[in-house]
Chain A
Amino acid sequence: MSVDPKNQAAEEDLRLPFDDEAGHGTGKRDLAGLLIAVALFGLALVIINDASGYPIRRSYAKFGPEIVPYLIASGICVMAVITAIMAWRGAFEARDPLNIGALSWLVGGIVIEIFMLYGGTGFIAGSAVLFAFAARAFGQATLALNLAIGAVLSTLLYLLFRYGLGLSLPAGPVERTIDLLLR
């Protein structure tokens, strides 16, 4: 059977999600992967520490609220060991370079929104800033235009959800003005 190259390419596209476990790793020791293993161990410790502090109850079950956390913690420990082995052997696939700048814009946008929402500037302003920062993260550098679109979108969302669905959203000067005008 002769296989033409196009067909072979299609064949590779057809990989089922679960048969790529072996053979696609980098083969290099993966520090970030080891860090995940450490984090998983840490999580297991936190769960065990928490569960060991529950008061002992006597019941027919013989087992109280601590049994499932212990089961989960032991499961996580097993997964942490497997993760450590995977990272050690380089079984994680190669990752694309990380665009730290974009990620910072995004996380920064969310953090600033949290401060703005609960610092009294209201939903529309906070949401517009988040919109502008997020668009910037995706490479749209026109900050003023982003802010303008974000403000329009947030205002529409505010009107829709405040008056359409009756959701209560943090109000600032802009929202109070809108509420006054619409009353």
Chain B
Amino acid sequence: MDTFILLFEGLATATQPSNLMFALLGVMLGTAVGVMPGIGPALTVALLLPVSLSFGATGSMIMFAGIYYGGMYGGAISSILLNTPGETASIMTALEGNRMAKRGKGGKALGAAAFGSFFGGMFATLGLAVVAPFMVMVALSFGTAEYFALMVLSFMTVSAAFGGSMSRGLTALFIGLTIGIVGTDKLTGQVRLAFGIPEMSDNISIAIVAVGLFAIGETMYLASQYVNHKAKAQAVSGSVWLNWGDFKRCIRPYIRGTGLGFLFGPLPTGGAEIPTFLSYTTEKRLATGEARREFDEGLGAIEGVAGPEAANNASAAGTLIPLLTLGLPTSATAAMMLAGFQQYGLQPGPLLFTNNADLVWGLVASLFIANLMLVVLNVPFIGIWVKLLTIPRPWLYAGILCFATLGIVGAQGSPFALILLLGFGLIGFVMRRFGYPLAPALVGAILGPLAEEQLRRGLMINQGDWMFLIESRIALAIYAIALLSVFGPRLWALLRKANRKASAAA
């Protein structure tokens, strides 16, 4: 019951006018960037990191969470109308959604997506509020060995789950870890990898790394391709409101999608990609009657939109569990939010719940409010967001670049910071071009210094004996999970392949 008392107190924080404003700003920005192809919530939080310093910790975290949720709503719009998912979480929505739009049922698909996001977001946020205190209790018993194991888990799974291949994920991770050691060592004051440059002997600001890799690198990558930057969107056709028949078809996918999203969100498997995929395949397998026909004939089934959309919002809420209780980011956006906390000198983890209870519960309560705002913004006002798709891409990306440099100029204000920004942009571009995922680099740069601190504290306590790392049973269990989550999906894929071969042969 304590949870609900705390949640009510959080509601008082969240309904303060300024925090309501930040929530609204967040969900509007989130939806807007979710709509635009090529920019996702992670990039948006990155762009806002430097300028959010003047917003205060609670305000900016509420805004960031709003962006995260909003991005999941908005992503559905570009997937359905343009067949270009704004971010990875919406890839599955595009499959059936775009087919529906081509058949003149785009409105219905958008409605199913918006209500699905609402359903998934609401129930998973409730789940977050219930589960988080238990996680905190568990996490309070963790020592250096366990924390180090958790960070290794995060490193491994982030490298394995994002993007193309394990080896490239690990390479990206090590690049991130290298960025993390630049600057003054916390424990001894030793200056590392600074090459005599004063700006480098303070640690490299995560904002520069994030904006460089994600914003500058991504725009360079987009510009370097010979593609037509003027793809045409399907018009919204039909009402976005669902009738009873549609709703009956959607409710089961909503429930299953929410379950999958909430289950997989907290696991360090890279956010929403896997739960949306599983939700889609489940709906496809379970479809009967009309839905079966629509799936099989490529007409676009509403279940295929409803499930994944509930799943991606539920996973966004699920992702916040390890982020808030353990300080572990399991998606790129969560990593950005962790950087946001660090900017204010806050370290997410069990202590955050005791030391900054008003912030944590204010944030959780504001998620409910953000969800309400989003369903209002996305059902009656859907037309406004669709208009965003008509902004000419060249100006859109040019505007993003201007905003990206503005943030760094305003917060750092030195030519060297901008040169560094350009450097990280070029690194990000090369990584994107060769299929290296960017998220592990960011997680490495953010978590690397924390992992190092745990490791060296542990070594100090145990007088240089490395065995302490594997003497804790909890830590061993975490390493086992890390191995499983890295090799499990591979085994699963192999099994699937073998199954498909067997069924093809039969």
Q: Do A and B come from one complex?
A: yes
> Chain A interface (Cβ within 8 Å of chain B)?
1, 4, 6-7, 10, 13-14, 16-21, 32-33, 36, 40, 43, 46-47, 50-51, 54-55, 57, 59-65, 67-69, 72, 75-76, 79, 82-83, 86, 92-93, 95-100, 102-103, 105-107, 109-111, 113-114, 117-118, 123, 127, 130-132, 134-140, 146, 149-150, 153-154, 157, 161, 165-170
> Do A60 and B395 touch across chains, with their CB atoms under 8 A apart?
no
Given A76-B178, A138-B393; A18-B402 close (CB under 8 Å): no
Find out whether the CB atom of B452 lies under 8 angstroms from the CB atom of A138. Answer: no
Contact string, B427-462, partner A, CB cutoff 8 A, digits 1/0?
Answer: 001100111000000000000000010011001110
A6 to B402 Cα, complex, angstroms: 43
CB neighbours (8 Å) of B435 from chain A are: 92-93
**Whole-angstrom distance between the Cβ of B313 and the nearest chain A Cβ:** 20
Cβ contact within 8 Å between B178 and A72: yes
Given A62-B459, A157-B403: A138 and B166 interface contact (C-beta under 8 Å):
no
B54 near A131 with CB under 8 A, answer no
Q: CA A105 – CA B395 in complex, angstroms?
A: 14
Most buried by A among B95, B167, B277: B167
Query: Looking at the complex, which one of B88, B192, B280, B392 makes contact with A51 (CB distance below 8 Å)?
Result: B192
Instruction: Determine how close the nearest CB of chain A comes to the CB of B200; give it in whole angstroms.
Output: 11
B222, B225, B297, B401: most-surrounded residue (chain A CB, <10 A): B401
Across the interface, which residues of B come within 8 angstroms of A57, CB to CB?
Answer: 188
Number of interchain pairs (Cβ within 8 Å): 234
Given contacts A96-B225, A107-B422, contact A146 B398 (CB under 8 A): yes
Contacts of B51 in A (CB 8 A): 161, 165, 167
Q: Which residues of B contact A134 (CB under 8 A)?
A: 219, 223, 394, 397-398, 401-402
Q: Which residue of B lies closest to A145 (CB)?
A: B395
Expressed in whole angstroms, the minimum distance between the Cβ of A111 and any Cβ of chain B is 7
Given A65-B192, A99-B225, A154-B402, does the pair A17, B395 have CB atoms closer than 8 Å?
no
Further 20 A-B residue pairs, CB within 8 A, beyond A18-B493, A127-B402 = A14-B277, A18-B166, A20-B164, A20-B165, A21-B165, A40-B171, A59-B460, A60-B460, A67-B459, A69-B192, A76-B175, A79-B170, A95-B433, A99-B226, A103-B220, A103-B223, A114-B418, A117-B418, A167-B411, A169-B410
The answer to the question of B369 belonging to the interface, with a C-beta cut-off of 8 Å to chain A, is no
- A105 to chain B minimum Cβ distance, whole angstroms, is 8
Q: Name the interface residues of B166-209: CB closer than 8 Å to any CB of A.
A: 166-167, 170-171, 174-175, 177-178, 181, 185, 187-188, 190, 192-193
On whether the beta carbons of A16 and B493 are closer than 8 Å, the reply is: yes
**Cβ-closest chain A residue relative to B195:** A50
Supply 26 A–B pairs (Cβ within 8 Å), ascending by A: A10-B95, A14-B280, A16-B274, A18-B161, A18-B490, A18-B493, A61-B456, A61-B463, A62-B459, A62-B464, A65-B192, A75-B170, A76-B171, A82-B171, A93-B164, A107-B426, A113-B405, A123-B409, A130-B402, A132-B398, A135-B394, A135-B398, A137-B394, A138-B223, A146-B398, A169-B409
Total contacting residues, chain B, CB less than 8 A: 86
B398 — which chain A residues lie within 8 A by C-beta?
130-132, 134-135, 138, 140, 146, 150
- Least CB distance from B300 to A in Å reads 11
Chain B residues with CB under 8 A of A18: 160-161, 165-166, 489-490, 493
Nearest-Cβ distance from residue B506 to partner chain A, whole angstroms? 8
> What 0/1 readout, one digit per residue, does chain B (202-232) give for beta carbons within 8 Å of chain A?
0000000000000010011011111001000
Closest A residue by C-beta to B453: A68
Q: Check B166–A21 contact: CB distance below 8 A.
A: yes
Contact B460 A61 (CB under 8 A): yes
Determine the residue in chain A with the shortest Cβ distance to B396: A138
CA distance A62 to B163 in the complex (A): 38
* B399 within 8 Å of A (CB atoms): yes
Contact B220 A106 (CB under 8 A): yes
Select B464's contact among A40, A60, A161, beta carbons within 8 Å: A60
Interface 0/1 of B387-427, CB less than 8 Å to A = 00000111101110111011001110101001101100110
Q: Which residues of B contact A62 (CB under 8 A)?
A: 459, 463-464
Chain A residues near B413: list those with CB within 8 A: 168, 170
User: 8 closest A-B pairs (Cβ-Cβ)?
Assistant: A62-B464, A140-B394, A138-B394, A167-B410, A134-B398, A19-B493, A65-B190, A61-B460
Q: In the complex, what distance in Å separates the CA atom of A165 from the CA atom of B433?
A: 36
**Distance (whole angstroms) from the CB of A136 to the closest CB of chain B:** 8
Given contacts A61-B460, A63-B459, A140-B394, contact A72 B402 (CB under 8 A): no
Task: Decide if A161 touches B406 in the complex (CB within 8 Å).
Answer: yes
Chain B's nearest CB lies how many Å from the CB of A8? 11
Residue contact A117 to B493, C-beta cutoff 8 Å: no
Q: Inside 8 A of B171's CB, which chain A residues have their CB?
A: 40, 76, 79, 82-83
B395 near A135: Cβ-Cβ < 8 Å? yes
How far is the CB of A48 from the nearest CB of chain B, in Å? 11
Interface string of B132-165 (1 = CB under 8 A from A): 0000000000000000000000000000111111
Residue of A nearest to B172 (CB): A79
- Minimum CB–CB distance from A83 to chain B (whole Å) comes to 7
Residues of the B chain whose Cβ atoms lie less than 8 Å from the Cβ of A117:
409, 415, 418
